[in-house]
C-alpha cells in the first residue's frame, strides 16, 4: 500500500484510474488529495460494483472528480492507473482493503512507453465509450 | 482467446499457471494437451474458487496434472502463466468464458527477464508454501 501510494502521489499533471473495485479509504483519500492539488483525475469503474457498500466512487464524485462507468452486462474488469501519462500501474490488485491486506496479488509498475501506450489508448477509448452522452435508455 | 492459446501452445518444456479462477473449457483442453505432450505443467489456484461449477481444476487433476491451492482466508488472486520460464502472461483476465467473452480485460505478454523473473520467483514461493506437506489441520 505505501509503495502504491508513493507512486500515485508523484502525479503532477494527470491521473487516469480504471478499476473494477475501489473501496480502500487510504487510496480514496490519496486520489482526492491529488484532485485538490490540481491534478486532472479521471476514473472509470464497473457499474455493478460502484454502488456496493464501502465503494469510494460516490465520495470521489462528491469531491468533484469525473467518474464514468460501463453500460454492459460484462464487468469492466481492468485494474490499472496511469500517472502523468508516463507510468502505468497494473496487475491483479483491486483497490480494496481485503485485496491489500489478505489476498495474494501482483502489481506491475512500468514506465516503458511500449507498455504505457496501450493502457493510455485503452483508457481514452473507454472514456469516450462510457461518455454519458452515449447512454442508451430503454 | 486464440492469441492466448497460441502463446500457451508454444510451450515445449514447462508451464506454470497461477489463477484465481479457471473454467474455460478451451484453455483447459490446451493445458491437458501440453501435459500429454510431456510439458511439465504445474497449477496453483484459489481454494474457494476451485470447487465451483464449471471449474477446470478437477479435470486437470484427473488428467494427472499437479495442482496446489492456498490455505488462507484471503484469495489467491493472481492471474498469470509462465511459458518455458521465458514468457509471462499476466493481467486482469481470469481464464473463464465470461471474462473472455463479456468483460473488459487486459493481458500482458512479456519476455523481458526483468519482468519474468519476479513471476517465476513468486510461483516457486507459492508452490512451496502450498505444498500439501505443509497443510495444517485443526
pLDDT, position B51: 80
pLDDT reported for residue B90: 98
What's residue B138's pLDDT?
56
Write out the residues of chain B at the interface with chain A, using a CB-CB cutoff of 8 A: 20, 70, 72-80, 90-93, 98-99, 101-106, 108, 115, 118-119, 122, 126
Q: What share of chain B has pLDDT > 70, as a percent?
A: 99
Task: Output the pLDDT for position A137.
Answer: 63
Here the ipTM equals 0.92
8 Å CB contact of A90 and B108: yes
Find the radius of gyration of the CA atoms of chain A: 14
Q: How far apart are CA B95 and CA B23, in angstroms?
A: 6
Residue B4: is its pLDDT beyond 90? yes
Reported as a pLDDT band with limits 50, 70 and 90, residue B137 is low
Residue A52 distance to chain B (closest CA, Å): 19
Q: Do B77 and A103 touch (CB under 8 A)?
A: yes
Burial category of B75 from C-beta neighbours within 10 Å (exposed 0-12, middle 13-18, buried 19 and up):
buried
Domains of chain B from N-terminus onward: 1-134 (3.30.870.10)
Q: CB-based burial of residue B72 (10 Å sphere; 0-12 exposed, 13-18 middle, 19+ buried)?
A: middle
CB A69 within 8 A of CB A44: yes
pLDDT at A51: 80
* A105 contacts in chain B (CB < 8 Å): 77-78
The nearest CA of chain A is from the CA of B103 a distance in Å of 5
According to the model, what pLDDT value does residue B50 have? 84
Report the predicted TM-score, pTM, of the whole model to 2 decimal places: 0.94
Label residue B72 by pLDDT band (50, 70, 90): confident
At A51, list the grid cell. Answer: 454502488
pLDDT per 10-residue tile (average), chain A, 138 residues? 98 98 97 98 93 91 96 93 98 97 97 96 97 77
SS3 annotation, chain B: CHHHHHHHCCCCCEEEEEECCECCHHHHHHHHHHHHCCCEEEEEECCCCCCCCCCCHHHHHHCCCEEEECCCCCCECCEEEEECCCEEEEECCCECHHHHHHCECCEEEECCHHHHHHHHHHHHHHHHHCCHHHCCCC
pLDDT digits (tens, 9 = 90+) for B25-63: 999 999 999 999 999 999 999 998 888 889 999 999 999
Residue B20 confidence (pLDDT) above 90: yes
Given B46, B69, B84, B121, which residue is catalytic?
A: B84
What is the overall mean pLDDT for chain B?
95
User: Could B92 and A72 be called an inter-chain contact, meaning their C-beta atoms sit closer than 8 Å?
Assistant: no
Q: Stretch B89-115: mean pLDDT, rounded? A: 97
Q: State residue B45's pLDDT score.
A: 97
Q: Which of A78, A91, A115 sits opposite B105 (nearest CB)?
A: A78
Q: Do B70 and A104 touch (CB under 8 A)?
A: yes
CB contact under 8 A, A92 and B77: yes
Residues of A in contact with B119 (CB under 8 A): 106
Amino acid at each position: 500500500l505505501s509503495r502504491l501510494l508513493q507512486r500515485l502521489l508523484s502525479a503532477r499533471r494527470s491521473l487516469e484510474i480504471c478499476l473494477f473495485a475501489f473501496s480502500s479509504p487510504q487510496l480514496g483519500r490519496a486520489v482526492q488529495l491529488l484532485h485538490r492539488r490540481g491534478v486532472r483525475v479521471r476514473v472509470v469503474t464497473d457499474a455493478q460494483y460502484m454502488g456496493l457498500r464501502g465503494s469510494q466512487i460516490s465520495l470521489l464524485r462528491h469531491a468533484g472528480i469525473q467518474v464514468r462507468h460501463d453500460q454492459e452486462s460484462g464487468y469492466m474488469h481492468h485494474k490499472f492507473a496511469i500517472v502523468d501519462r508516463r507510468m502505468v500501474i497494473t496487475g491483479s490488485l483491486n483497490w480494496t482493503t481485503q485485496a491489500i491486506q489478505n489476498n495474494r496479488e501482483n502489481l506491475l509498475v512500468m514506465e516503458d512507453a511500449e507498455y504505457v501506450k496501450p493502457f493510455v489508448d485503452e483508457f481514452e477509448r473507454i472514456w469516450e465509450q462510457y461518455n454519458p452522452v452515449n447512454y442508451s435508455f430503454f
